[in-house]
Amino acid sequence: MNNINHHSTTIPETSNHEPQTSLNDIDDLPSDPDGVYTTDHSDYSGSDDEHFSSPGDTDSEYSEVENTILDLSPRDQRIKNLVEPLFRKGHKGPEIIRILSQDHGIKISPQTLSRKRNEWSLRRCDLSRAPIPAPLSPEVRGSILSSQSKGMNLKEMQVRLYKETGVKVSVRTVQRYMKKLGVKLLQNDLLDGKVTIDRVLEAITDARENLLQNNAGYRRMRMILMRHYNIRVPRQIVYYALKQIDPDGMALRLRQACKRRIYRTLGPNHIWACDGHDKLKPFGITIYGFIDAWSRKILGMFVHVTNNDPRHIACYFCEPGSL
């Protein structure tokens, strides 16, 4: 008998129908330090053309058939018939539980509903997709495109759509209409190559001269370009264009957060200053006082339970004048 290198191997008993393996064949096998050997002989007999099936395939096929055929109780069948159309309409779990409880007298917990939904293949990925919505009518299409070309915002487009077509929809639906039509609310004709920067400057100059819009800022000028010249460009481009055309006007229109002015008073009773004192308001006491700005003389102090009522403040103004 030949010795086996590295490991000893026990030869299992074989039937008459299985191919015999000799000890000489084992010597020819490559040695493996883990003691794992491979062979070209299969443990299963039969023709190569036959379909191979392992012993576990019968159990798996039986389990699949068992899962597809659900033996539902009358109560579960009723619940399934009720919740399936609700899930297809897009209702959520808490809303379905409320409908079952109020309309049908069926009480079910969220955990049970989620488990039944998985068992009955009513998950969102299992349900069929919603039907494709119908195309927009020519009236709605024309109103949306016309409003978008004039630079209207979503609220203005919604109001105009209702006036022209009688279709009352939300602002979100107007956004979906625009997405379906392939148009955007904010466009850049300069970037798309529809206009040139010279055309933008020419339109701004024409609006300032012929439309008497020489005092318009860049926000107002952008709307004028959209509605009168059908030019849609970002506000930043209009800002730089106006800064190039009218730098002095742009400097005067710049917002100044705090304008410092000289405080002047020409004499007594020229300016009366008034102010409220709310430090004692937690105790139910409010103080309102008047002083003369020139002499700093206290003209009057009024104590009340509130100084939020404008009628009280008006009465306070009348009191010092009657003194």
Whether 240 shows a pLDDT value over 80: the answer reads yes
Domain that holds residue 172: 138-181
Residue 286 makes CB contacts below 8 A (sequence gap 6+) with 276, 277, 278, 280, 303, 304, 305, 306, 307
pLDDT computed for residue 11 by the predictor: 45
Whether 280 shows a pLDDT value over 80: the answer reads yes
Whether 108 shows a pLDDT value over 50: the answer reads yes
Are residue 2 and residue 33 in the same domain, yes or no? yes
Question: Is 19 inside a domain boundary?
Answer: yes
Are residue 246 and residue 201 in the same domain, yes or no? yes
Determine the average pLDDT of the residues in 1-29.
Answer: 46
Question: Is 51 inside a domain boundary?
Answer: no
pLDDT computed for residue 73 by the predictor: 86
Question: Is 54 inside a domain boundary?
Answer: no
Question: Is 202 inside a domain boundary?
Answer: yes
pLDDT computed for residue 258 by the predictor: 59
What is the pLDDT confidence band of residue 292, given thresholds at 50, 70 and 90? very high
Cβ–Cβ under 8 Å, residues 157 and 174? yes
**Strands (E) located in the chain:** 272-277, 286-292, 298-304
Based on the structure, what is the number of domains in the chain? 5
pLDDT computed for residue 162 by the predictor: 92
Q: Which amino acid does the sequence have at 321?
A: G
What is the pLDDT confidence band of residue 297, given thresholds at 50, 70 and 90? very high
Question: Is 59 inside a domain boundary?
Answer: no
pLDDT computed for residue 1 by the predictor: 44
Are residue 283 and residue 317 in the same domain, yes or no? yes
pLDDT computed for residue 151 by the predictor: 75
Cβ–Cβ under 8 Å, residues 100 and 93? no
For residue 134, give the nearest of 164, 104, 94, 167 by alpha carbon: 167
Whether 157 shows a pLDDT value over 70: the answer reads yes
Are residue 219 and residue 194 in the same domain, yes or no? yes
Q: Supply the DSSP string of 195-263, one letter for each residue.
A: S-HHHHHHHHHHHHHHS--TT--HHHHHHHHHHHH-----HHHHHHHHHHH-HHHHHHHS--S------
Q: Which residues pair with 287 in a beta bridge?
A: 277, 303
Question: Is 261 inside a domain boundary?
Answer: no
Are residue 195 and residue 249 in the same domain, yes or no? yes
Question: Which domain-ending residue is among 253, 282, 297?
Answer: 253
Is the entire prediction scored with pTM above 0.75? no
Q: What is the pLDDT of residues 60-102, one digit of tens each?
A: 444 444 444 457 888 888 888 898 888 888 788 888 999 999 9
Residue 288 makes CB contacts below 8 A (sequence gap 6+) with 274, 275, 276, 277, 301, 302, 304, 307, 312, 313, 316
Give the DSSP H/E element, type plus range, for residue 291. Answer: strand 286-292
Whether 9 shows a pLDDT value over 50: the answer reads no
Say if residue 144 is exposed, middle or buried (CB neighbours under 10 Å; 0-12, 13-18, 19+). buried
Whether 5 shows a pLDDT value over 70: the answer reads no
Q: Which residue has the higher pLDDT, 3 or 114?
A: 114
Whether 3 shows a pLDDT value over 60: the answer reads no
Q: Which residue has the higher pLDDT, 167 or 54?
A: 167
Are residue 81 and residue 125 in the same domain, yes or no? yes
Question: Is 205 inside a domain boundary?
Answer: yes
Q: Which residue has the higher pLDDT, 221 or 253?
A: 221
Residue 50: half-sphere exposure toward Cβ, Cα within 13 Å = 7
Question: Is 63 inside a domain boundary?
Answer: no
- For tokens 């010092």, the residue is 320
pLDDT computed for residue 84 by the predictor: 87
Are residue 200 and residue 242 in the same domain, yes or no? yes
- For tokens 């020519």, the residue is 138
Are residue 143 and residue 126 in the same domain, yes or no? no
Q: Which residue has the higher pLDDT, 11 or 249?
A: 249
Supply φ then ψ for residue 112, to 5 degrees. -65, -40
Please state, in angstroms and rounded to a whole number, the distance separating the CA atoms of residues 24 and 1: 9
Are residue 126 and residue 143 in the same domain, yes or no? no
Question: Which domain-ending residue is among 253, 286, 306?
Answer: 253
User: Strand, coil or helix: what is 17?
Assistant: coil
pLDDT computed for residue 249 by the predictor: 81
Token pair recorded at residue 95? 């809303």
Residue 180: half-sphere exposure toward Cβ, Cα within 13 Å = 15
What is the pLDDT confidence band of residue 291, given thresholds at 50, 70 and 90? very high
If you average pLDDT over every residue of the chain, what do you get? 77
Token pair recorded at residue 107? 């009480």
Are residue 7 and residue 26 in the same domain, yes or no? yes
Other C-beta atoms closer than 10 Å to the C-beta of 188 total 14
For residue 82, give the nearest of 70, 71, 95 by alpha carbon: 95
pLDDT computed for residue 160 by the predictor: 92
